[in-house]
Amino acid sequence: MEKSLSWREFIITRLIQASGYSAILFVGLIFFFLLREGLPALSEVDASSLLNIRWYPLESHVGILPLISGSLVVTLGAALIAVPFGIGTAVYISEIAPRWMREILKPLVELLGGLPSVVLGFLGILVLAPFLRVFLNLPTGLTALTGSLLLGGIAVPTVVSVAEDALDSVPRAYREGAWALGATKWQTIWRVTLPAAKSGVLTAVMLGVGRAIGETMTVMMVTGNAPVLATGLGSLFSPVRTMTATIAAEMGEVANGSTHYHVLFFIGMVLFIISLVVNIIASSVVFRAKKRAERILS
């Protein structure tokens, strides 16, 4: 019996270890399959046409610049919304709100994080886009701005939970010191607590932006999907098309193994690398990593 027990123990330990290592395997597999299907694009079309400003794959125009610029415009707009609202809410929850208020606000913000993006896109089409069209007197309400507003909302829960965690981990003594010196609560927040939590707040912003750039369904539904090169602030009020939306909208209709198919995988590869860079930088920003990891994800 002793022997069978130790055998069982051995096998279980190995299984558990393999499960732990599987995360590395999956990241590797994802990268491998993106490369496998995406790299042929580079031999089928040369780099200059990939960096062209026309995306019209039916006539072999596969310039991805309009898509990259579309993603950038929408994401930038989303960041402009998510950063003040996300950090403001985090400061309120962590520093100002009474306990009962915190107990209400935190689950509410989590709820926003759990809303399916397709539901937000649906409301974007039916409510937000018509409103913006009339309010701003635009020819169409399906614009980059509509996408930015909704994406900002989608990024807020990420920013709030990571930033709130960072604020929470600032030692209470810092605040007490400031109060003892006569600072008001407000002064303490701006001159002591927030600066002390700087790196964590930065991580929050980066992860929020990462969340926004990868969002697919909402932007596909509300940004109008016109692959036009965004050139300035004016693009915010016209239809754009992002990288994610392009993949989602076109992958279902291409022939497997065609140039178009490979280019779509190539775009996926670019997105993967962007998210890899954002997450590696964000996670290397030093601050108590253990508790944060949960927040990033939930």
Partner 1 sequence: MMTKFLSRNRHTVQRLGFIAITMVVIVTIIPIIGTIVFILVKGGSAISLEFLSGFPHDGMRAGGILPAIIGTLYLTLGTAVFSVPLGIAAAIYLSEYAKDNQVTRLIRLAIINLAGIPSVVYGLFGLGLFVLFLKFGTSILAASLTLSIMTLPVIISTAEEALRAVPQSFRTVSISLGATRWQTISRIILKEALPGILTGVILGLERAAGETAPILFTGAAFFLPRLPHSVFDATMALPYHLFVISTQVPEMPIQIQYGTALVLLVFVLTMNVIATVIRSRARARRQW
Region 210-229 residues binding partner 1, contact defined as CB under 8 A: 210-211, 213-217, 221
Q: Which of 39, 105, 202, 226 binds partner 1 (CB under 8 A)?
A: 105
Does 201 sit near partner 1 (CB under 8 A)?
Answer: no
How crowded is the C-beta side of 173, counted as CA atoms within 13 Å?
1
Q: How far is the CB of 232 from partner 1 (least distance, A)?
A: 26
User: Residue 290, interface with partner 1 (CB under 8 A)?
Assistant: yes
Is 110 an interacting residue with respect to partner 1 (CB under 8 A)? Answer: yes
- Within residues 42-81, the interface with partner 1 by CB under 8 A covers none
Q: Residue 231, class by beta-carbon neighbours within 10 Å (0-12 exposed, 13-18 middle, 19+ buried)?
A: exposed
Q: Residue 127 CB, nearest distance to partner 1 (Å)?
A: 7
Cβ neighbour number for residue 166 with a 10 Å cutoff = 28
Residue of 36, 191, 198, 288 interacting with partner 1 (CB under 8 A)? 36
Looking at beta carbons only, is 15 or 136 nearer to partner 1? 15
User: Which pair of tokens denotes residue 112?
Assistant: 């926003």
Q: What are phi and psi of 272, to 5 degrees?
A: -60, -45
The region of 26-34, 40-48, 131-139, 170-178 touching partner 1 under the rule CB under 8 A is 26-34
**Closer Cβ to partner 1, 59 or 100, answer by number:** 100
Count of residues engaged in binding partner 1, rule: CB under 8 A: 92
Q: Are 215 and 151 in contact (CB under 8 A)?
A: yes
